[in-house]
Structure 1
């Protein structure tokens, strides 16, 4: 248990660490609203003294002073609590996790945890869980769920012991409590059913820890109404259990697919009309991985404002986008919207924008057009289609060659670099008929033949 002196040292060290070196203490300490100010005008005068004590207490523990009046209005029960009771609650919370950020976060998000009767039950509760590296977010979630649904520390302890008994490590249990805190209210049979499902797919018990660590939200999925139908769909598409196991271990988030999503993505891939080399690269890791990549790219486009149908259309028209990483796609879209000032809907008309190289094609061409527009070198506005779909040589002849100052901006054809034609010089020589030297006898035969003609 952390002593009062230790808690006081935590708060004092944090305050002085964040203090600007050039500021004096009088300037750094926040000024609380005057009790006679307008902020306290709606509170009876008999409570002013207690409110001043509360505000000083909250300030001492690191809460923003200017937000205290509104915080008090939203949580009137604090006015009925004495400062000494609230300070005891603060000390219990700090004993659970000696961090001022944790204290401010949990009290701001769930003020009801300051009830002393509730926290007294949890004075040793978190330590009894046996999760020694438990994070602040996990503790906050557990206390919040326990407060709202009246879950006792013993109930939480039994759920944690159930997870440990199934082979889940303490680090992964902490992640589960962060992502799926409602697990503390589930029946133990429901938790075991999820683990049994994974073992039925072929995932070993030691591998389940990895699945929950990378995708803890999977615990919230029902086995009968979500996971089993999803695996049945994978098998109907022709994937074996070994392939499904391999993909789940590779990225457990494939279990977050909705029923029918992978089928639609795979159907679209099989109907692609593109160069053979692109299609081969798309299916390099198998059909399952390729279809899942399509799903991730569609989700990325939808996140930036496209509809589901438009996102699918963009990926189908420009399959090279499947070969780019999600981060590269996001960078292109952000540049399109924020720098080039085009609407994201333009991708439906010009999906090729996502398939070209960002550094070698998009940036140099945009820099040239931007320079010409800033110097009134262009009469008409250049659309995204011309910016992307023009060939390198044609773009150079139209926008770079007439303006010598754009040579360095464009970079690709700067200086004495020669422009390559479609075929290398001298290619025609490879198709010239082979010549054989003529002997003297051949010449005599030709002459005699010619003389014999009438």
Structure 2
């Protein structure tokens, strides 16, 4: 019997209506699941901003997992006594670790370790690695035994597992080659423990293609073997230098034009340490968003940075970007900012300029150069003296301060007072150590 058009329309409407209500019901259920999951994660330490990012990245959690199952997984994780910061970091880096069956298996496995001395943070690192590479708890227990036989005891073992958990995937002979390399340059057993504790990442470096060529470079630069040994023992991060990096850092130091006392202080503990200190500050600047060429240029123009603590440099850049709202690239043009005293120069001058801007007293943009480069007396005369209310935030300049010499005679090389431009010799010097960075 043929179906009439009216019957077809009725069937279609009923089907569409059923499909529509099914879709709406599914969305409502998903929304409720999302709210329940958000409340659950907030109880386990997630901030509102972290929740928004985490749930947006991991929609599979409320599409295919029940809130009850996730809560069970979180309870197992908490049984490992992982601190809150590593706990949240683990979930961000490896949300798949919330697999309940995986965690239950590891809970049983870790209970076999007993009082092994392995820290909760180390367990956190191992769990993330194990989930990614499907590593069994029994294999991990076996690898821990091997490491203990090789001398990885106490704090060294837990430190290595925290920072370089991939060691549990390495073969025993690979680890032995690293130990043999360090013994070959005269580092004692205690010194080797210090190296692995301070810089566990060295265990991931290839001996033939990375460590031996680096040692050869140090020797070719004229450093004695016992000097290299002592520097590695003092700061094992030396082994993290790239090939050619020490040569570029020493090239920078040899072309510096600065006061003799500053240069003497830079080299006070030897050329090797001076070159490594340059590397650390280049890494710090690059971490903030600069490229290597820019970082080297800033250090060349402001050599005092080699003497400043990394934390101090980072604090100034954080203030520059987050408070002053400048891009980090402006440091290439005004490297003096990083050489200025934070509490006595940068903050007071910024406060004065911001106050005058808020009162409408400035008809022009001062800019970073105008904020940092003027002398204290000139800045005072320009922005503070006409506005007595600014003296409290800036500090008064004593009468006759402008007549005092800033440094004893002979401390500075004589330069013309006009705007500084690099001479042909300066440009050639910079090219000599920056050429490999092109």
TM-score (norm 1): 0.69
1:110 to 96, 106, 109: 96
Question: What corresponds to 1:286 in structure 2?
Answer: 270
Does structure 2 conserve the Cα–Cα contact (< 8 Å) formed by 1:142 and 1:177?
yes
Q: 1:372 to 1:226 in 2, by over 3 A?
A: same
SS at match of 1:306: coil
Question: What corresponds to 2:352 in structure 1?
Answer: 368
After TM superposition, give the deviation of residue 296 of structure 1 in Å: 1.6
SS at match of 2:328: coil
After TM superposition, give the deviation of residue 38 of structure 1 in Å: 3.0
Question: What corresponds to 2:195 in structure 1?
Answer: 211
Gaps of 5+ in 1: 1-34, 43-50, 425-454
Does structure 2 conserve the Cα–Cα contact (< 8 Å) formed by 1:318 and 1:355?
yes
Does structure 2 conserve the Cα–Cα contact (< 8 Å) formed by 1:133 and 1:174?
yes
Alignment of 1:97 with 2:83, yes or no, is no
Does structure 2 conserve the Cα–Cα contact (< 8 Å) formed by 1:368 and 1:409?
yes
1:41-440 alignment, distance < 5 Å: 70-71=60-61, 73-74=63-64, 93=76, 97=80, 109-111=95-97, 113-115=99-101, 119-120=104-105, 122=106, 125-129=109-113, 132-413=116-397, 418-419=400-401, 421-422=403-404
SS at match of 1:378: coil
SS at match of 1:110: helix
Which one scores higher on RCO, CA 8 angstroms, separation ≥ 6? 2
1:165-209: CA deviation from partner (whole Å, max 9, x where unpaired)? 222223221222222222212111111111111111221112222
Distance in 2 separating the partners of 1:399 and 1:269: 37
After TM superposition, give the deviation of residue 328 of structure 1 in Å: 1.2
Distance in 2 separating the partners of 1:148 and 1:390: 56
Does structure 1 conserve the Cα–Cα contact (< 8 Å) formed by 2:214 and 2:243?
yes
Alignment of 1:38 with 2:22, yes or no, is no
Distance in 2 separating the partners of 1:360 and 1:239: 40
TM-score (norm 2): 0.71
After TM superposition, give the deviation of residue 231 of structure 1 in Å: 1.4
Q: 1:62 to 1:322 in 2, by over 3 A?
A: closer
Distance in 2 separating the partners of 1:406 and 1:371: 8
Q: 1:193 to 1:319 in 2, by over 3 A?
A: same
Report which of the two structures shows the higher radius of gyration computed on alpha carbons: 1
Does structure 1 conserve the Cα–Cα contact (< 8 Å) formed by 2:250 and 2:275?
yes
Deviation larger for 200-209 or 380-389: 380-389
Gaps of 5+ in 2: 1-23, 407-438
Distance in 1 separating the partners of 2:298 and 2:380: 27
Distance in 1 separating the partners of 2:301 and 2:380: 26
After TM superposition, give the deviation of residue 95 of structure 1 in Å: 10
Q: State the superposition RMSD in angstroms.
A: 3.8
- The total of aligned residue pairs comes to 365
After TM superposition, give the deviation of residue 319 of structure 1 in Å: 0.5
